[in-house]
Every structure is written in structure tokens, then in C-alpha cells.
Amino acid sequence: MKIFIVGSGKLANAILTSNLSLQSCEILKWESQYQPLNEKAIIVHAGSGRQLKECFEFCTRTKSVFIELSTGLETEKMEPDFPLIICPNTSILLLKTLNIIKVNGKYFENYAISITESHQSTKKTEPGTAYAFANSLKFPLDQIVSIRDSEIQLNKIGIPKEYLDKHAYHKIVIKDGNDEVTIETKVLGHDSYANGVKTIIETVLKYSLENKKYTILDLIDNNML
């Protein structure tokens, strides 16, 4: 089984240079020359969207599985005729925490909530994980506090200096008067993302997915992850 990694940014390169060690699989960087292939594969998209059209055409023809790691792209709204998995994040621990909030968010609707997220200053795409937390808590997306200042990240949030250019941080605070619950997540580096991608690919290889759109939380709900 060929596994194509689409993109040229830090996450795509981290996946390509990691040792995924998937039995009977070949990890390849997607190039346009692969589009005419007539075999089922797995496409992991971590790009800007420039190559989406040719990847969609390939998946439509071969019924290949498309795993979307980028956020804010048309994949989030499309109804595909191939298996499509939307992954705003691939840290499995964080995703399971996100799923807990999704399932139980209704219990916190009447409390005061704040959501803060921090990523490296080069991040220009939507903060997909923060949006997912907010949607589960019915929290307005425009009230999410986004931090891209390295001084604040280093001195107030506590992101180690070596991870300022590759981190993901989320803080959800739920208050009821003087009572307060804080949920804080911190992902440093890309190792956990690469490991998460491996786990997701193993799930795709293990199960037969329908030709439709899934969120990664759907797989967790169905005890597939």
C-alpha cells in the first residue's frame, strides 16, 4: 500500500522523516506524476491546498482514503465519494480529551468560559483544535484568544524555547463564581503528530471505511482509535 504525504511544510516533512515503520507500506512524498496511478492508496494531506484538486481526482477514481491534517480548507465542507477523515490534530491524547469535551460539552453551557490557544508565529491557518473545543462548548469562535508572541509563549505560558517554533497549546477555563475548572493541553514538537498519523493510518488499514466524510472523533467514538 502506497501512503502519499502531501505538503512541504514542517508537519509534512516531520512525517516524511519520521520512522513510521508500517508493514507492507511505502511512504512517498506526493508528486503530480502519481496522479494517473490506478491503485488504492492513502493520502495524508498536510499542505496549503495547492494540490487538493489532483488528490481529489485520484481518490475519486481509486476510492483511496484521504486524511486531512490542514485546517480551513474545502475538505471540511465537501461530501466526498471516497473515505475522507478530517483531523484538526493528530495527538491521540489530545484528541481523546477533545472527544470528552464534545460528548459532555452540554453540561457547561451555562458557565463562564474562556479559551486560549497558542501556536508558532508562522501559523497562518485556522486554529482547528481550538475551534473544535469552542464548538463543543457553544463558545463564540471570535472570542478565542490566539497567541503568536514568542515572549508571551516563553514567559507566561511556559513553552520551552526550543519548541517556540513547533508547539500547540490550549487552555479552557470554566468558571462558576469562585469555582473554576481548567483544562490545559500542550503538545511540543512534531513527534506526537507523526506517531498519531501512524496510529490513524494503522486504523485505516485495519477497518473498511465507507465513501463518506468522517471526523477523527468519529473514529474515537466507534472505538477504532
Tens digit of pLDDT for each residue in 163-173?
Answer: 999 899 999 99
- pLDDT tens for residues 78-91? 999 999 999 978 89
What is the reported pLDDT for 52?
A: 94
- The pLDDT assigned to 89 comes to 86
Question: Which residue range forms the structural domain that includes residue 138?
Answer: 92-189
The per-residue pLDDT for 21 is 79
Name the average pLDDT for the chain.
93
Model pLDDT, residue 126: 85
**Is residue 4 within 8 Å of 204, Cβ to Cβ?**
no
Are residue 149 and residue 204 in the same domain, yes or no? no
- Describe the strand order of the beta sheet including 65-68 as a list of residue ranges: 26-29, 2-6, 42-45, 65-68, 84-86, 213-215
Report the CATH number that the domain containing residue 41 is assigned in CATH: 3.40.50
Q: Is the pLDDT of residue 19 over 80?
A: no
Q: Are residues 139 and 104 in the same domain?
A: yes
41 plus 59 within the same structural domain: yes
pLDDT score, position 17: 87
Question: Domain count of the chain?
Answer: 2
**Is residue 189 over pLDDT 90?**
no
pLDDT at 158 over 90: yes
| Residue 65 sits in the same domain as residue 110 | no
84-86 and 65-68: which strand pairing?
Answer: parallel
**101 lies in the same domain as 67:** no
What pLDDT is recorded for position 151?
96
Amino acid 193: pLDDT: 84
For 99-153, write each residue's pLDDT tens digit: 999 999 999 988 999 999 999 988 888 898 999 999 999 999 999 999 999 999 9
**CATH code for position 96:** 3.30.360.10
Sheet holding 179-188: strands in order across? 145-147, 112-119, 167-176, 179-188
Percent of the chain with pLDDT over 90: 79
Say yes or no to pLDDT of 95 above 90.
yes
Instruction: Round to the nearest angstrom and report the end-to-end CA distance of the chain.
Output: 20
Say if residue 27 is in the same domain as residue 114. no
Query: Do 67 and 31 sit in the same domain of this protein?
Result: yes
Same domain, yes or no, for 20 and 60?
yes
The verdict on 137 and 116 lying in the same domain is: yes
Q: Do 79 and 10 have their domain in common?
A: yes
Q: Do 15 and 77 sit in the same domain of this protein?
A: yes
The residue count for the chain:
225
